[in-house]
Chains A and B, each alone.
Chain A
Amino acid sequence: MKKNGFSAGDGWFARFFRGGSRKLADDVEKKREEGVDVEEIVSPLKMIVRGFFERKLAVIALCVLIAMFLVVFIGPHFMPKYYDSYNEVTQNNVPPTMSMLSVPAELKIDIKMIDSYGSFSVGVSNAGKVYVWGATQLGTTGVDVKDIPEEVRNAKIELVAAGIDHIIAIDENGRVYGWGHNGLGQFGYFDPEKYPNILSMPDELVNGTIDVKNVKKLTCGYQCSAILMNDGSFYLWGNKNTYQNIEKFAALVQLEDIDFTLNYIVGLTEARNAIFTGTRGLYDQYRSNLNTAAQPSKTYLDGRKIMAISAAANNVCAELDDGTLCFAGDFASNSKPMPALHDGEKVTQISAGNYHYTALTTEGRVLSWGSNTLDQCEVPAGMTNVKKIYTGAFQSYAVNSNGDLAGKWGLKGYLFGTDNRGANVFQRIIQGGRMTMTIGAVAVIISTIIGIIMGCISGYFGGKVDLILMRVTEVFAAIPFLPFALILSSIMAQMNISENNKIFLLMVILGLLSWTGLARMVRGQVLSARENEYVTAAKAMGVKEFVIAFKHILPNIVSIIFVTLTLDFATCMLTESSLSYLGFGVTYPRPTWGNMLNGANNATVIKNFWWQWVFTSLFLGITCICINIVGDTLRDVMDPKSDRDK
């Protein structure tokens, strides 16, 4: 017998549970030391436990399984911000990375500006060098924005801006560069005849230069970019399909400010009395803070002028001429409102991320507010001498007067990447695991209860009862499992019941369809157990037969039931996953390991977005493998025949 920490005798684990008389045990030990062969008498349960812990693979599997359970059932409590239907278009299909905040070391001490819109950030140093970090691989396009073109690397860059999948940079001579994905008019010349949905980059930018000293603002949106000059003229180009009001802006000549929300371009005209969108009723209700009531723009402004605007994805922040801020647009209900300013404190700089704003005040305080789902607003304490702030999509950076990075906060990245809706795969795996395991467990409990009752009654009473119950079992066993479960859940889907009830019904269906194997096995065991003397004794004492079957016989076969239960648990989990995978079990937005793989049923996703199926498959696969190993080992250990050959 191999000795390890778990093995019986001197192992600590065995000692931990060893009860009884210490003296007797010591006697046995003494005799053994003397060389006398002492055979210990151990209960069957102890034998099983001992046999189980002797097998390393099984012990490892058990540990992994327990760890998996803990992660899945405790993990969700550490994700208070998670919700099922989370959807973020700028973060679709982001590969696993934790580098979204990793400003390159060279840039850290010499920051000129930083910008981002989607999954990557771009920064430029005072020396004119461009750095790109974050998830730089762009989906299926095969483009990596980290591959900065040679001419950009050689030029001294003054300004950069990042869009969802492209970067625009202007060098000291006024040349405008673009790189990244370029299928939809992100940069370069596009023939308007050939591409009616693209507003091409103006010719003077493609072939000529602009006066970089006079550039007031360079900004990029979703496949669109704009350059605003100090004299009010501006250049605008990009994909017409992504911004509905792009034509309205293209017709304008003069603008004081311009920015991109997710679906609209917003601008500021010379009148400065409203946010210009070219669309009636858009962003014309202003509020002083995120959680206060909105008022029509005229009432709210009351003659005050808007000096500048900065746009997040669904809302716009406007700086007024009296130094206050006002907000227009929609805010998520869980948004953090803007912190109150001290008396006399004014906001000197404001910068918008996708769902949050970061501002620097006259007192040197840095404030972040807005949506905090991805920790965008967790401003670190202890930043001093902050001169500038830069806010990207979900990241914020504070820069001090030397151009050094004083602090950074926000989204670091995604451990397992994001799915096609931009949701964090890791969080969904944990939440989905809870669902999958709960469904498996409840289904198995239902099937075990039915199986035990059917098997016990049928095995104990025999005769006609047995005949009828076994026919019933046969009926259920003859139902082809997957097709039938599919039909039941599709009927269920068409009925008007709540999502929770549907999931409960799914468990019941799985339980109702999978008890037959256990029932047959219990019946067989009871058949042989009822011939034992203790049953005869119980009968002689006049114990109710119901009690004999369930209280006397059942405990004697409980170990075998336990093994079946373990293995059935894996089967139920797999069935649920298969159903959800086919779209008939639990459906989106609720995650389960099955329906998370639903998106991975085409070759494009399998090839390009490997993280969307590899991790989920690993979790599901490892859990099932571990359950099966534990179950198989238990069966092996309980089977007295299997020990014979050792």
Chain B
Amino acid sequence: MVKYVFKRIGYMFVVLIILSILMYCIYSLIPSNRAYSDARTDVQGMKQQLRNATEAEKEAIFQERYLMYQRRYGTDTNNILLRYLRWVGVAPNYYGQHNGILQGNFGWSQEYKDTVLNVIREPMKNTIFINIFSVILALAITIPLGIVCAVHKGSKGDQAVQVGTIIGYSLPSFIICIVFIWIFCSLLGWFPPSGMKTPGSNFTPWSWKWFADRMKYLALPLITMTFVSLGGMTRYVRASMIDSLSMDCIRTARAKGVREKTVIYSHAWRNALIPVVTLVVGWFIGIFGGSLIFENIFGLNGMGKIMIQALRTADVDMIVLLQVFYVAVSLLGNLIIDIVYGFVDPRIRVSA
């Protein structure tokens, strides 16, 4: 098992390295030059000192500054591999310093004029909170629903749920968002359509009022996110439950005269859990990408919104870090899936 896990982790690193090279090359396509704009700002800032300078002198000072910034940021070379290594923090820059991701330098957001890590701290918290909350909510609904549907397979209720779920997972999430905003904000007026808190309010964090206010604003996004995940999840739970209900061990258990409840919740459900657990992990990753749309529609201060903003303003370092975040989440998820598979299914462990 240990060997298996290490093998998986090894694969993960290979994938990560390949992906990061790939992504670095893609990001270098974005036309953005921090050194250039910094040098320009510097020269403009020196207007007083350069009052009597000629154009040529100004240009010389600009070139000097430009080179300095390029060296500082490690972009003073056209060799993309070297730039990549500097970005990672493996190769030293002009001054012989290692200043890359491995040293904790994730970059500088030109839009927010702050380090990317600082900008991202708050949205990250929000995104993780929203996602975990909606996953828990969705699981609490889908698992019982899926089991009931599987047990009463073919009944009227099951068929209704089948049609409902197919609609649920076929509709794009933004349409569901629009419909929910229309129902809950326009028709019923229960929730505010967007935002994270009442504008102008200043509650002390973690006080009761703060929490109530926040929940009022987050309720609709959470309901929508949960609803969107219901369709696929219920179908999956139902399918795996049906599979495990047709297993021989179930027939044996029934033949033994075990109570039906025990057969379903103890024998069948445990077998059905194997694919469900892996699905939950995979789906948890998917939801991080999917929350992009929710955060944008509901105006939530999360990673997805930051990302769209960064894309609109070509804030390169920001995009890179967000992408690293998404890739890391997804790789980590894959790793967890593999390991969980290994734990629950001995066949996989052996064949690996």
Contact = CB atoms under 8 A, between A and B. Distances in A.
A494 B14 contact: no
B175 A486 contact: no
Contacts of B182: 606-607, 610
Interface in B277-334: 285, 288-290, 292-293, 296-297, 307-308, 311-312, 314, 319, 322-323, 326-327, 329-331, 334
A513 to B, nearest CB: 11
B249 interface: no
Given A577-B172, A610-B182, A621-B175, A474 B30 contact: no
A471 interface: yes
A600 B175 CA distance: 10
B178 A613 contact: yes
B255 interface: no
B174 interface: yes
A45 to B, nearest CB: 25
A625 B178 contact: no
Interface stretch (A72-80, A95-103, A477-485): A477-485
B170 A486 contact: no
Contacts of A594: 172
B15 interface: yes
Given A487-B311, A494-B314, A480 B174 contact: no
B181 interface: yes
B31 A494 contact: yes
Interface in B172-193: 172-175, 178-179, 181-182, 185-186, 193
Contacts of A601: 174, 178, 296-297
A96 B240 CA distance: 46
A625 B174 contact: no
Interface in A469-515: 471, 474-475, 477-484, 486-488, 490-491, 494-495
Interface in A452-475: 471, 474-475
Contacts of B296: 582, 601
A581 B174 contact: yes
**Of listed B11, B26, B166, B329, residue having the most chain A CB within 10 A:** B166
B186 A478 contact: no
A57 B167 CA distance: 13
Given A491-B26, A597-B174, A607-B186, A479 B327 contact: yes
Contacts of B46: none
A228 interface: no
Given A600-B178, A603-B186, A479 B19 contact: yes
A644 interface: yes
A483 B331 contact: no
A117 interface: no
Contact of A487 (B154, B170, B173, B319): B319
Contacts of A483: 289, 292, 307, 322-323, 326
Interface string B9-23: 001001100110010
A482 to B, nearest CB: 4
Counting chain B residues whose Cβ lies within 8 A of the other chain, the interface size class is 35 or more
Given A582-B293, A645-B153, A474 B178 contact: no
A230 to B, nearest CB: 51
**Of listed A478, A570, A602, residue having the most chain B CB within 10 A:** A478
A578 interface: yes
**Of listed A481, A484, A487, residue having the most chain B CB within 10 A:** A487
Give the dominant DSSP class at B's interface.
Answer: helix
A578 B169 contact: no
A606 B220 CA distance: 15
Contacts of A570: 170
A611 to B, nearest CB: 12
A581 B186 contact: no
Contacts of A478: 15, 19, 327, 330-331, 334
A394 interface: no
A471 B29 contact: no
A620 interface: yes
Contacts of A644: 246
Nearest to A613: B178
Give the dominant DSSP class at A's interface.
Answer: helix
A641 B326 CA distance: 38
A624 B171 contact: yes
Contacts, number: 134
Nearest to B179: A617
Nearest to A601: B297
A632 interface: yes
B63 interface: no
B271 interface: no
Given A478-B19, A581-B293, A471 B11 contact: yes
Interface in A540-583: 570, 574, 577-578, 581-582
B22 to A, nearest CB: 8
B8 to A, nearest CB: 11
A584 interface: yes
B117 to A, nearest CB: 18
Contacts of A481: 289
Contact of A574 (B172, B185, B186): B172
Contact of A625 (B31, B153, B170, B327): B170
A119 interface: no
Contacts of B26: 487-488, 491
B115 interface: no
A483 B328 CA distance: 13
A629 interface: yes
Contacts of B172: 574, 577-578, 581, 594, 620-621, 624
Given A480-B330, A577-B172, A620-B172, A487 B166 contact: no
A482 B11 contact: no
Contacts of B15: 471, 474-475, 478
Contacts of A600: 178
Interface in A577-629: 577-578, 581-582, 584, 594, 597, 600-603, 606-607, 610, 613, 617, 620-621, 624-625, 627-629
Contacts of B163: 57
B175 A620 contact: yes
Contacts of B319: 487
Contacts of A490: 311-312, 314
Given A482-B289, A486-B292, A610-B182, A632 B311 contact: no
Contacts of B31: 494
A584 B311 contact: yes
Contacts of A621: 167, 170-172, 175
A624 to B, nearest CB: 4
12 contacts: A480-B326, A483-B323, A486-B308, A578-B172, A578-B173, A581-B174, A602-B194, A606-B178, A607-B182, A621-B170, A625-B171, A641-B246
Given A475-B18, A578-B172, 8 more contacts: A471-B14, A480-B329, A494-B30, A494-B31, A584-B311, A597-B175, A607-B182, A628-B166
Interface of B: 11, 14-15, 18-19, 22, 26-27, 29-31, 153-154, 163, 166-167, 169-175, 178-179, 181-182, 185-186, 193-194, 246, 285, 288-290, 292-293, 296-297, 307-308, 311-312, 314, 319, 322-323, 326-327, 329-331, 334
Shortest 10 CB-CB distances between A and B: which pairs?
A607-B186, A480-B326, A603-B193, A625-B170, A624-B170, A490-B311, A628-B170, A482-B289, A617-B175, A480-B289
